Amino acid sequence: MMSMTLATLALGVWAIAVVFVRVAPSHAPSFTLVFLAASLFAVPGFVLGLLTVRAKLSWLLFASVPLFANLMLLVLPWLAHKLRN
């Protein structure tokens, strides 16, 4: 499913940023830059997840995995940033 691929790419952006913070903090990108780069993948993934929802409950359960994965990638970093400050 394409929306899970986009969620994986967005998670990869965050993983690379975390590695930079641990290995080379002086070269680590800003939170805003990482959030925007990950959102380039997570927003279309969330929209594609919404578009795959059909009328049946079983399809909603199937589509909820990429929906929640992409939604988590959009909300959790923002929430962590707000709680940190």
Mean pLDDT by 10 residues, the chain (85 residues): 88 91 89 92 90 75 84 84 72
pLDDT of residue 80: 76
SS3 of residue 85 by DSSP: coil
8 touches 71 (CB < 8 A): no
pLDDT of residue 82: 78
14 touches 28 (CB < 8 A): no
SS3 of residue 20 by DSSP: helix
pLDDT of residue 85: 65
Could you tell me the pTM of the whole model?
Answer: 0.79
pLDDT of residue 55: 65
